[in-house]
Every structure is written in structure tokens, then in C-alpha cells.
Structure 1
Amino acid sequence: MNTEKSKVTSIFAQKEFKFLGFCLGRNGSGTYIRVHRKSLAKAKGKLKLLTKRNRGRNVRRVMQEVKEFIRGWIGYFRAVDMKRTLMSWDKWLRRRLRMYIWKQWKKSKTKVANLRKLGVPADKTYRWGNSRLGYWRIAGSHVLKCSITNERLAAVGYFSILNYYESLHLCG
């Protein structure tokens, strides 16, 4: 028998009470249910694993795998109010995907050509295409945010975590 998982206690007496990925909290208006911090960390780790730069998969396939994982995870934790957390995850995931795309372009010549196709002015395409900044730093740059916009990501198949969560909460 696992003594960590099997115990009889008050849920408020133990600070780190966790049951099936959920935990309870108290505030001025009463008791509420939330996702345990370990469950959040595990899910974000899984998303990080799915969007690793060295996977060598098409970005559309990666987006599909992320979509499948997110739909299942949010479906399980749909009773919990976690809008603020999912808002930050959505922003983080879009940046991860921009980083993934930037890495796939590999050579400076390809980066310059693709930025030019996306409508970035010629002087900026050369400067950013030949930049030696890291992938994560460039993924958060103004140039990549303006060229690989949220709308373009959605057109390619990006699945918005926040929109899905809100659609589930509107239905009931």
C-alpha cells in the first residue's frame, strides 16, 4: 500500500492535498476546486515535449498532437476555473510554435526568403534572417510576431486553448 496516496485526513489540514489531480482552496467567498500545481506542471511539461524543436515533424502535425492532448486535458479538468492560467499557456504555446517554425527554416537564406514572403520589409528580413540570437528570443521578437501572426497560425491549424476552454464553459 502506498502511504502517500492512502490516508485519512481533513482536506484543509494538509496543505498539499491532492486527489485525482484536483485540490481544494479557500477564499473569502468559500471553498473552490482547482487543478493541483503538480498536474499543471505535468501538463505543461507534456506540451513542452510535444513542441520540442528537434522533433523533425511538420508543424501542422505538431499542432494536431497538441490539439489532441489539450482537448483531453481540458475535458478532464473542465469543472475548474483556470482562465488566467490557460491565457498564459496560449501565449506561451504560440511563441513555442513560432520558435519551432523558425528552427525549421534552418538556413539564413531560407529565413530571409520566408520573411519576405510574409511581407516583412527587405532591410528587416536581412537583419533578422542573419541574426545569431537564440530561437526563443527571436520567437518573441516583434518581427516574428508581425509576420507569423495569430491569425496565420490559426489558418495553418493552431488550436487555441483559451477558446476551447471558453466554449466548454459557455455550454454548461
Structure 2
Amino acid sequence: MELISAITNRSNMLQAYQRVCRNKGAPGVDGMTTDELKSYLQTHWQPIKQQLLEGSYQPQPVRKVEIPKPGGGIRMLGIPCVIDRLIQQAMHQVLSDQFEPMFSPHSYGFRPSKSAAQAVHQARDYMESGKRWVVDIDMAKFFDRVNHDLLMSRIARVIKDRTVLKLIRRYLQAGIMENGIVTARTEGTPQGGPLSPLLSNVLLHELDMELTKRGHSFCRYADDCNIYVGSERAAHRVLASTTKFLEQHLKLKVNRDKSAADRPWKRCFLGYTVCNRRYNIRLRVADKSVKRFKDNIKALLRMARGWSIRKTVNELTPKLRGWINYFHHADVKGVFNELDGWLRRHLRKILWRQWKRGRTRKRMLMRLGINEKRAMLSTTNGRGPWWNAGTSHMNQAVPKKLFDRLGLVSLMDSYHQLKYNL
């Protein structure tokens, strides 16, 4: 069976449809949502399928969206229309089977049965084996700089179906719409479509093979690549040679300001860092990750000023669970305890603000078990909400067990459940 036939096969398309609908996502330039996709396909799928089989299908432009990057700067996303997300997902499912067998075991991003946690553990194993220097490669605007001809030549080494190759190139060259104006695209594979992560791995597989050929110990997660070596001299040599390979052979740009040959405990990899305690390497949550977590929580809590405390807790739950599931591999006791207390104090601050008047605050404190004299002194202390949120009267009135009853996820309690399978 030709690959294009496998891509448009009913069972493959149904699997892709279910995946796209489950992921939801924002509409593209045509404004169609995933909820409208089923009815659209019922009337339009047959002619679209015929165009795909004949090689005449033309993807629509992607919608340009710019989002702030955690470390500063802007990340550009290209949001495809829902129908193009469906086709790309169907292509990804078939093409992934073609490329997966050749990919390096040290490539961890956007692959089945691979994860960021595995990459971080592998990095720690390298350090425990004595490789205490890291070459941290930062590729500048990788997804915006991919050379189309270079990428297509690498894809064509594996994919021989000309119809599929033509369709991939059309997706690469689909224009970008911003403010109603479509701009042609001559390079890059913008993040936002299901096919982009696979294509990035195809191109960077060349880097993986080069590092393997040179005998290097490395971990790569998409465009985030760390190489572990035994000495400072080797680290600087590898940084120079790898930069040369990426820029000359793959036509990519290395950010020299952010790339470095350094000690691993001075760098951040996938949100983690390490600490070196008497030759015992331990994973730790990077300070940048803690700051990013606090910034995200504070942004949500600013929106929550008119919400009930129960609604606020419900909105916090998925963020907290996601953070726990990602970082529970680290030595987190101290940071999780600190963040639990920090979050409860913020919620107490919200309550203090919501009570507003002194009489209301006195009444609520008394209702929550504070005696009248202490409640009166607490409401007339002249201090602000954050100060009061950290005092003994609010800690006693609104203790941890009250938040537990409301369903607030405790980072530390959840960590213990994951670690000890309670």
C-alpha cells in the first residue's frame, strides 16, 4: 500500500480525528473549531481525500500567534486550520512508524515511550559516571530557521512516495497569516501543527548520528541538547566542533550567548538542575522553574479575585497536578513544602480581601474558631492582606485541613503518594 493510501485509510483517519478532537486547540484562519469538524467532514471529506490521493490538495495558511517565552523573548506559533491539523495528525501517525526505528535512543522529545524525565535521569547517570562537564547547546529560533531543502532531502532518504513528499513540502511552505495578510514562508517549520515535532526530529537526527559517531554522551529533547564530557578542555572543544557542525552542515544558528561549556549544577536542563553532594548527584527543581511556577500561579490568582475560594481551588488543581507529575523525580521535599505554605498564604490573602470590612473579618474569624478579643485585635492591626495572611490568627482560622477539605492539592502530600504508592 502506498503511504498516501495508508494516511487516508479510514481507521488511521478515525484515530487522527479522535486525537485532534481530544486536544481541542484554537481555530486556524478559517475560524472552524474542533466541535464543527465532524459535520464538516460529513460533507467535504470525500473531495478532500480525492485531492490528497491525487496530490492536488493545497493546505491553508497558518494563523500566526506570538506567545512570551519563559526566559524572555517571543515564541512564534503557526496554528493550522482544524482540517489541516487532522491531515497532519494522520500523516504523523504513519510517518512516525517509518522514522522511529532509525532514531537515536538518546533523542527523547516528542517520541512514543520517551519523556523529559528519561532524559533528565540519563543526564544524571552520565554525571555519576564521572562526566562532570556539560556542553549546553542553545539553537537560536530553531523552528523558525529549518532549511526546507535540507529537511526534504533527509525525509526523501526514507520516504519514497512522491505524493507524500509533495504534501509535506506544501505544509512547510504554507503561508503565515497575520492581521489578514498572508506572508510566504521560505524556511522554518513553525510550532503548532502535529507534524512539526516529527520533522524537527528528522533533521536533528543528523546531529544525533554525528555525536554518536564521535563517541559523545548526550541527551537531546527536541532542540534542547546537552553533551556530557569529563574535562573543561574537552567541553570547550566539543562546544566549538558541535557549533560548527550545526551551522555549516545543518544551516542552523547557535546562540553563542546562551550556549556554554560549564558545570552541570550551574545549568538548567528541561526545568531541572543537579546538586553535587559528596559525589552523590541529585536532581533538583531549577530556580527558574520555581519562579515560573509562582508567576503562573500569581497570574491565575489575579484573575480569581471575584471567585469563590472553592472555584479558585478547582482552577488551581490541574496546574498543581501537572507540576507534581513533572517534577516528582527531583529531590523536592524542601521546595514542595515551601511552595505549599506559599500557596496557602496566597489563598488566605484572597479570603482576607474578600472579607473587606473589619466587622466582616471579625465575624468570620470568630466563626472559624478565633475568640472575640483576638479577632478584634487582628482586624484592627492596620496591616495589609499579605501580612495578615501569614499571621497565627489566619493560620489557625484557615488551617491546612480546611484547604484539604476544599480539595486543594498539596504538593508534598501528592509527592509522598507518588513516591511510596500510597
Q: TM-score, normalised by structure 1?
A: 0.85
Inter-partner Cα distance in structure 2 for 1:127 and 1:14:
55
How many residues of Structure 1 are paired with residues of Structure 2 in the alignment? 172
Runs of at least 5 residues in structure 2 that lack an aligned partner in the other structure = 1-138, 143-222, 231-260
Which of 23, 26, 31 is equivalent to 2:281? 31
The structure-2 alpha-carbon separation of the partners of 1:30 and 1:153, relative to structure 1 and needing over 3 Å to count, comes to closer
Please state whether the residue corresponding to 1:81 is helix, strand or coil: coil
Q: Partner residue of 2:262?
A: 14
Q: Partner residue of 2:324?
A: 74
Deviations 1:9-67 (A, max 9, x none): 54784144322212333221432322222112111221222334873211111112222
Higher RCO by CA contacts (8 Å cutoff, separation 6 or greater) = 1
1:32-111 to structure 2, matched below 5 A, reads 32-52=282-302, 55-111=305-361
Q: Partner residue of 1:2?
A: 140
Inter-partner Cα distance in structure 2 for 1:161 and 1:33:
17
Runs of at least 5 residues in structure 1 that lack an aligned partner in the other structure = none
Structure 1 residue 160, shift from structure 2 partner? 1.3
Inter-partner Cα distance in structure 2 for 1:32 and 1:11:
18
Q: Percent identity?
A: 27
Q: Partner residue of 2:394?
A: 144
Deviations 1:127-156 (A, max 9, x none): 222332111111111211111122222222
Inter-partner Cα distance in structure 1 for 2:299 and 2:385:
16
The aligned amino acid for 1:2 is A
The aligned amino acid for 2:320 is I
Please state whether the residue corresponding to 2:262 is helix, strand or coil: coil
The aligned amino acid for 1:164 is S
The structure-2 alpha-carbon separation of the partners of 1:101 and 1:24, relative to structure 1 and needing over 3 Å to count, comes to same
Where is the strand percentage greater, Structure 1 or Structure 2?
A: 2
Deviations 1:70-96 (A, max 9, x none): 100111122112111101111111111
Q: Is the 8 A contact 2:321 2:409 kept in 1?
A: no
Bigger radius of gyration: 2
Please state whether the residue corresponding to 2:350 is helix, strand or coil: helix
Inter-partner Cα distance in structure 2 for 1:7 and 1:156:
42
Which moves more between the two structures, 104-113 or 19-28?
Answer: 19-28
Please state whether the residue corresponding to 1:111 is helix, strand or coil: helix
Q: TM-score, normalised by structure 2?
A: 0.37
Q: Partner residue of 1:167?
A: 417
Please state whether the residue corresponding to 1:97 is helix, strand or coil: helix
Inter-partner Cα distance in structure 2 for 1:3 and 1:18:
18
Which moves more between the two structures, 148-157 or 84-93?
Answer: 148-157
